[in-house]
Structure 1
Amino acid sequence: MTRLRVAIDARKLRDFGIGTYVRGLLGAAAARGEHDLVALVRTGDEALLPAGVSAVPCDAAGYSLAELVSVRSALSKAGCDVFHAPHYVVPLLPPRATVVTIHDLIHLKRPEHRTLAKKLYATTMLRRAMRAARVVLTVSESVRDDLATFAPRHAGKVRAIPNGVEGRFLAPVPGAEVARVRREAGLDAPYVLFLGNDKPHKNLDGLFAAFAAVARSGLTHRLVLAGGSPERREARRHAAVEAGVADRLVDLGFLLEADVVPLLAGASALAMPSFLEGFGLPVLEAQAVGTPVVSSDRGGLPEAGGDAALYADPDDPGALADALVRLLTDADLAARLSARGRERARSFTWEAAFEKVSAAWMDAAEGA
């Protein structure tokens, strides 16, 4: 195997979503040691990189014209055989051997709450990325199909490689840690967890409407939101009041990394009601810790959950409520989904993802 020098845009290293992807991929690649890795990082993030990964500073603001120049400059300093952009922003004059990962087309498929400028930016950058890349990676077959429709001329470049689950979700979760996060969150009742941001495509209004029906069924569960922005906390509370579930809501906002796994493990169920997801990694993370899942049936979510989740139409809060009530009242069903989910999650590793990504790097270097 040819040893490559691969530069990866890791400016989102601290983020969820793309940041999780970058951390997982860098960790697996560094552990294998087959390539020389260089990460473009924001100043101060160098210490977050795995051992053996070199760093080149790159501090330009995201989604700006300045970053197109800044990333190009950083790549010149890094020197590389292959450049991997983990989202659709590629620099001016990108290297010939460029690999791009496109996680979803939510900006284009769910544009209702986005300005015209943001829609145009997303469309322009996606088209640039599709043209510039020798290989385009997606995290699901669903997104690959979307790209085939969006840019049919470049469909032959696209490969679907599912995300992996971090090892911390696969390890046993101490009961004391679950008890700690419950105590700190004031959770003295069973709960359903929503894990993610509060962007419109996440369908929190639909979840609130569904949970109102869950409450009317006589179940005493709380609804825990984790990951929403502090700036929108009041908007979330108002929506919960409108739906009649404010008394059931526990809004934790952003979580500490140390709290994510035990909070997931302590939940009676994970609710993932999104109108669209490229993949839906929280579904697999919940399955990894043994928490059963009720998910939307849209986008890449069925690929993440497989046969180890219950599904509902996100446009139908009644169907979502029925699925939640069924799961929360049928202990045998919950146990079956828990066992099936644990087994399924073990097959989604970053090591397996890296094997396929490494092949994409090689192909890009050879001219694809």
Structure 2
Amino acid sequence: MMTGSTDVPVCIDGRLLEDGGAGTGIGQYARTLVQALRSAGRAQLILGDGGRAARRSRPAKWAAALRPWPRGATITPGGYRARDIFREAHVFFSLHGRIMPLRLPGPSGIMHWSYPLPMRICGWRNIYTVHDVMPLDPDIPTPVDGRRLRAVLDGLVASGGSFVTVSNAARQAIVDATGWPPGKVAICHQGVDIGDMEAGRRAALPAGLQAGGYLLYVGAVEARKNLVALLDAYRTSGIATPLVISGPDGLNAEHIDARIQDTPGAIRLGLQPRDAVLGLIASARALILVSLAEGFGVPVAEAMSLGTAVLSADIPALAEVGGGATLLVDPRDPAALRHGLTAIDGDAALREKLVRAGLERSQYFGLESYAQRLANLYGMA
């Protein structure tokens, strides 16, 4: 349980909590923050922008962003609201080259941003979550503009912000990319919320799938997830078990989609509701995540929590999350990928061993453990 002072407000940005945005990776991170604080008995506040219904037109948004002074917000039953504030902050930064200030009514507290947004709450302690700095690496394809991300990070440093990331591997990557001292970035391994697990288990599987009868990838369909190499290894392995790929289109998904269609046994599902994702993971023979780069790897932690064996890349972040409870392979070695797939598909004893180890490891990512890490981060332990 979270201990220490309970009268300091903690606010979380609702940028991806409104209009169904919690289905995204960062939205899920914010959702889990809320659930962890709630599980610890601490009321959490949400800074919202009113959702799509409150968005300004493009000319009105730019006109609003021209104002150089701090913005204000109104009190709502669950926190604060400032109309279209998140989009306006991005335009403000483009126009003025600095972080947009926002004043909140009431006592000051801790603002836990789910992403390095170019905003700060005046008089509050602003903690910005940097999940990774892949956009700063020209060798990693990503839709995020790396130069702008670096400019925003520099602006947040200048405005007095502090930073947290989700793994030791991510912190090392941030330090290497920015030149910041390691102490500049705190580590708070994120938690996973499988509170909807029973709903997930009750969710009907897509037609043609049977519990324990498929291998599963969950995540965006994009190049850094190494899906082309995974599909090649799957095809050459001779495995008869279907390989299900579930998630939204990412960068250049068309090329990967074409490869999926040309791979017998591979099945593509689009973005699924939360309970359906949990059901897919819980019923899979094994979860497969052989990415070339990750900051954390939520599906690995979720699979371990749901009692599903995991085959993952041996990159630092995924090995750290797995904590010795997953089967690791070199994602750039076709033979290693093929052997790993064959082993986790065909060796029931291996899967049982991984499931036992994974369930033990998953306790670290539960909401109670996560709440205690947040207490330490906030200085409330």
Structure 2 gap segments, 5+ residues each: 55-75
- Return the alpha-carbon distance in structure 1 between the equivalents of residues 129 and 226 of structure 2: 25
Aligned pairs for 1:131-280 within 5 A: 131-168=158-195, 174=201, 177=203, 180-181=204-205, 184-187=206-209, 190-214=213-237, 216=238, 219-229=239-249, 234-241=254-261, 244-245=262-263, 247-280=264-297
2:78 aligned with 1:53: yes
- Return the alpha-carbon distance in structure 1 between the equivalents of residues 171 and 31 of structure 2: 22
- The change in CA–CA distance for 1:315 and 1:9 in structure 2 (over 3 A counts) is same
Aligned partner (choices 10, 21, 27) of residue 29 of structure 2: 21
The TM-score, its normalising length taken from structure 2, stands at 0.80
The RMSD of aligned alpha carbons is: 3.3
- Return the alpha-carbon distance in structure 2 between the equivalents of residues 205 and 35 of structure 1: 45
Aligned partner (choices 125, 128, 150) of residue 100 of structure 1: 128
Aligned partner (choices 31, 35, 38) of residue 30 of structure 1: 38
- 1:123 alignment counterpart: 150
- 1:89 alignment counterpart: 117
Cα deviation for residue 25 of structure 1 reads 0.9
- Return the alpha-carbon distance in structure 1 between the equivalents of residues 251 and 344 of structure 2: 33
- The change in CA–CA distance for 1:273 and 1:87 in structure 2 (over 3 A counts) is same
AA of the residue aligned to 1:113: P
- 2:322 alignment counterpart: 305
- The change in CA–CA distance for 1:26 and 1:45 in structure 2 (over 3 A counts) is farther
Deviations 1:230-249 (A, max 9, x none): 997654331235xx51x212
AA of the residue aligned to 1:162: H
- 2:311 alignment counterpart: 294
- Return the alpha-carbon distance in structure 1 between the equivalents of residues 313 and 265 of structure 2: 22
- Return the alpha-carbon distance in structure 1 between the equivalents of residues 299 and 89 of structure 2: 25
- 1:331 alignment counterpart: 348
Deviations 1:20-60 (A, max 9, x none): 111111122134344562433443799xxxx9732424424
Native 8 Å contact 1:94 1:132 kept in 2: no
Deviations 1:260-309 (A, max 9, x none): 11111121111101111111010011111111111011131111111111
Native 8 Å contact 2:242 2:265 kept in 1: yes
- Return the alpha-carbon distance in structure 1 between the equivalents of residues 100 and 275 of structure 2: 35
- Return the alpha-carbon distance in structure 1 between the equivalents of residues 362 and 125 of structure 2: 32
- The change in CA–CA distance for 1:19 and 1:172 in structure 2 (over 3 A counts) is closer
The TM-score, its normalising length taken from structure 1, stands at 0.82
Cα deviation for residue 122 of structure 1 reads 1.7
Aligned partner (choices 327, 335, 339) of residue 318 of structure 1: 335
- The change in CA–CA distance for 1:275 and 1:172 in structure 2 (over 3 A counts) is same
- Return the alpha-carbon distance in structure 2 between the equivalents of residues 62 and 301 of structure 1: 35
- The change in CA–CA distance for 1:284 and 1:302 in structure 2 (over 3 A counts) is same
AA of the residue aligned to 2:156: A
Structure 1 gap segments, 5+ residues each: 364-368
Native 8 Å contact 2:10 2:109 kept in 1: yes
- The change in CA–CA distance for 1:95 and 1:239 in structure 2 (over 3 A counts) is farther
